[in-house]
Amino acid sequence: MTRRISINTPIGPVYVEEQDGAIIRAGWTAVEAPGDSPLLRAAAEELTAYFDGRLNRFSVPIRHGREDATGKVLDAMLAIPMGETRQYGDIAREVGLPAQAVGQACGANRIPILIPCHRVLSASGLGGFSAPGGVETKVWLLRHEGAAGLLI
For residues 123 and 2, give the distance between their C-alpha atoms in angstroms, rounded to a whole number: 38
Cβ neighbour number for residue 94 with a 10 Å cutoff: 15
Report the candidate in 23, 3, 39, 1 with the shortest Cα–Cα distance to residue 113: 23
117 counts as catalytic? yes
CA angle 132, 84, 69 (to 5 degrees): 70
Say which of 117, 120, 141, 147 is annotated catalytic.
117
| CB-based contact 139:145 (threshold 8 Å) | no
Query: Catalytic residues, which ones?
Result: 117
